[in-house]
Amino acid sequence: MGDIELNSPELFINRELSQLEFVRRVVAQAKDDTVPLLERLRFVCIASSVLDEFFEIRVAGLRQQEAYGSMQRGPDNMSPTDQLQRISPVVQEIVTEQYQILNDELIPRLDKQGIRFLREEDWNAKQKTWLKRYFNRELQPIISPVGLDPAHPFPEPLNKSLAFIVTLEGKDAFGRSSGKAIVQAPRSLPRVVRLPEESSTGPNEFVLLSSIVSAHVSSLFPGMRASGCYQFRVTRNSDLFVDEEEVDDLLRALEGELSSRRFGDAVRLEVDDDSPEELTRFLAAQFRLNPDSVIRCDGPVNLMRLAAVPDLVERPDLKYPGFTPSIPEKVRNADAMFDAIRSGDILLHHPFESFAPFVDFLRQAARDPNVLSIRQTLYRTGTDSAVVEALIDAATRGKEVLVVIELRARFDEAANIELANKLQSVGAQVVYGVVGHKTHAKMCLVIRREGRSLSRYVHLGTGNYHTRTARLYTDYGYFSCDPELSDDVQKVFQQLTAMSKEGKLKKILQAPFTLHSTVLELIDQEIANAKAKKPAAIYAKMNSLVEPQIIQALYRASQAGVKVELIVRGICALRPRVKGVSDNIRVRSIVGRFLEHTRVFCFENGGDRKVYLSSADWMGRNFFSRVETCFPITEKRMKQRVFRETIEAYLADNAQSWELNADGSYTPKQTKQNRKSAQENLLESLAEASAG
C-alpha cells in the first residue's frame, strides 16, 4: 500500500465540519442522564457559545473568502463555498436538537424540581403586576423603539444583542404607520429575571427578558397596537484586522478595532420560530443574508443567557459535587515555594491539584527582598486576577517586573489592554511580544539573589494564568530551578523583549523555530524503531490536530507499524482506520465536566520513553505563527505519573469517551458496567474530600 498519496484530499477531514462534530459531543452531554440536571442546562449553553464563536470567526472568514472570489483550499480541497454549503444543514440539525433537549427534557424536569421558566400565559395576577412595574421601572425608560420609515432607517443591532421586530396597527401622533418597528433590549439588564418571593410560588421562578418585552411592547407605541413581537439576534464578523506591518503602536490600533467588532458584517440571523416568513425574509434582506444563514429558534434566541440560571439556583443536588483541589505535601510543608522547588521539580495537575501554589510563588517573590526580577507571559488572565495583583505588588516594591501581554488573545483584547495599562501605571515594563506572532507560551521566570550568586526559578504550563479557568480546565503546571531549563526560558524572554536572534535552546522546543521540525523528527524516529523491531509508539493528547505535515507523518508511522494513540478534544483533520494508511491510528475525544486542555506528547523511543508538556496544539498557527514552548519531563517518576494520569487514564475512559471514525463522525465509547471516567478518577485520587 506504499503507493497511496498521503496528501490526497480524501485523507483529510474538513476542520470546520470537525469543529461542528465537537459541538455535537457537547450537546450530547445535555442529553446524558448521568450528568446533573443543572449541568445539563449548562452544556446546552456551552454549545451555543461555541457556535457563536464558530460563526463570528470561522464562518465569517469563509464568507469573506467567498466574497473576494478566493480559490484557496485546504488539505481537504474544499472551497469556501463548498464548506458553507456543508456547514449550514449541520448547524440547523444541531440547533434543532438543542431546543428539543431544552423544551422536551430539561424544562419539564427542572419544573418538577421547582425551577420554572414562566411564559406570559403562566403569569398569575400578582406576577403580572410585579412584571408590569419591573418593565415600567427598568426597561421603558431606557428602551428606544425605532419605527421604520424613510426618516428612520433600519438600525444596526449590536453583535449578538437581543432585538425584536414588532408589527404595528394604527397611526401615531404624526399620522405615521409603517407597520414595523425595531426594539433593542438594553444590554445592561439580565436576560433572566428571578421573581421575588412575594410574587412567586417557589424560590426559583424565572421570567425571560424577552417575555417581559413581548408582553408590554404595545406600551412603547402609544395609540397603536402591537399585533406581533418576534425576537431576533444577529451574529457579526468579530475577527479583528490589524495590519501589523503598518502600525507602530499595536495597543492603540487594537483599541480602534475593538469598537468595530460590534458592527461587523452579519454572518448569521437567529429568529423566533413563530416569526412570519415575510418578516424573516425582511430581516434577512436588511442584513444581506441568504436563507441558509437564517436559523429559527424554538425558544430564547440566545441560549447562552440561560447559563446564569445554575449559579442563581441553590440546589447542590442538581450540580456536580463541589471539590477542593489538593496541594502536594511537599509544597504544604515548605516554608516558601523557593525551598520546595529547590528540593526537586514540582508538577501540578489542575484542576485536581490547586493553582494556589503558583499564586503563592508570585506573592512570595513580590515580597521577598532577595528577589530582583520577575518575568511573566499573560495570554488570558481575567481582569480581577490574583496573578496580576501579585505582579503589581512586586512592581510597587521596586522589583524589575517585565510582562509580555498578548493583546490579540481573541475576545480578551479589551481586558488585556486594560491589564497592560494597569501594569504600566505602577512601573512594570509591558511589551506585546512579536509582531506577526501571538505569544501563546505560558512562562514565568523569577531571579533571586542567594548568597553570592543569582538563582533562577521557572514555571511553565499548558494553560493560562487564570485562577478561574484553573478550576474548569485540565492543565499542567511545572516548577523547576534546573539551570538549563531556566536558561532556555530566559532566552525566550530575551527574544520576546529585545530584537535578538534565535538562541539555541538546550531543552525547550520552541515555535516557530524548532517545535515543528523536532516533532517530525520524533515521529520519524518511531518509524525507524518500528522497522528495526524496537518498541515504537506515539501517544499524544491535545485540543486540535490539523497541521498537514504532521498528519502525513503520522500516516507514515501507521504504515510502518507504529501504534498511534491520539486523544484530541476538538478539531481533528486526520482520518483514522483507513485501510493501508491509518490502520494503527486511533483517535479519541473526552468531553466531560472539565474542559480538556492538557497538551502531552509521548514517544516510546525504543523503550526509553520521551514525555513532553506543551502550550501548543498540532495546528499550523501553533507551529508557525505563535510563540510556543514544549518542554521535556525527564525525572522518571514524574514521567510515569504524566503518562499514567494523562494517557493511560484517558485511553481507559469508557464514561465520557468518543472514538473518531474514518468518515469524520464519532461513536460514543461509553458503558454503565465497570464505568471508568478519567476526570472522576483523577478527582478521587488527587483532589481533597468533596466540598459538598
User: What is the spatial distance between Cα 51 and Cα 6, in angstroms, rounded to a whole number?
Assistant: 31
CA 626, CA 623: separation in Å to the nearest integer? 7
Closest CA to 450 of 372, 380, 515: 372
Sign of CA dihedral 636, 640, 641, 643: positive
- The CATH number of whichever domain residue 238 belongs to comes to 3.30.1840.10
Instruction: Taking residues 250-272, report their average pLDDT.
Output: 64
Q: Is residue 520 domain-shared with residue 444, that is, in the same domain?
A: no
Q: What is the pLDDT of residues 71-113, one digit of tens each?
A: 789 999 999 999 999 999 999 999 999 999 999 999 999 999 9
| 520 vs 623: CA distance, rounded Å | 12
Residue 5 lies in a domain: no
d(CA 589, CA 571): 10
In a domain, 283, yes or no: yes
| Domain's final residue, options 441, 464, 499 | 499
The reported pLDDT for the residue numbered 242 is 40
Active site includes 516? no
> For the ranges 408-412, 615-619, 668-672, 676-680, which has the lowest average pLDDT?
408-412
Q: Which of the listed residues 448, 472, 499 is the one where a domain comes to its end?
A: 499
| Pair (524, 477) in one structural domain | no
- Return mean pLDDT, the chain: 91
In a domain, 691, yes or no: no
Q: Which residues, other chains included, contact 93 with Cβ-Cβ below 8 Å and sequence gap of 6+? A: none
pLDDT for res 422: 86
In a domain, 155, yes or no: yes
Question: pLDDT digit string (tens) for 12-61?
Answer: 999 999 999 999 999 999 999 999 999 999 999 999 999 999 999 899 99
Query: Which residue segment(s) compose the domain that 355 sits in?
Result: 329-499
Q: How many domains does the chain have?
A: 3
Task: Specify the CATH number for the domain of residue 461.
Answer: 3.30.870.10
Q: Are 272 and 232 in contact (CB under 8 A)?
A: yes
* 416 and 556 inside one domain: no
Residue 504 domain-assigned (yes or no): no
Query: Of 216, 349, 350, 440, which one is the catalytic site residue?
Result: 440
pLDDT(178) > 80: no
Tens of pLDDT along 186-197? 888 899 999 999
**Do 479 and 542 belong to one domain?**
no
Question: pLDDT for 121-152, tens place per residue?
Answer: 999 999 999 999 999 999 999 998 988 876 67
C-beta neighbour count of 121 within 10 angstroms = 7
Residue 551 lies in a domain: yes
Which of these three, 449, 475, 499, is where a domain ends?
A: 499
Taking 70 as the threshold, does the pLDDT of residue 623 lie above it?
yes
Sign of CA dihedral 35, 36, 40, 46: negative
Asked whether the beta carbons of 165 and 182 are under 8 A apart, the reply is yes
Give yes or no for residue 250 having a pLDDT over 50: no
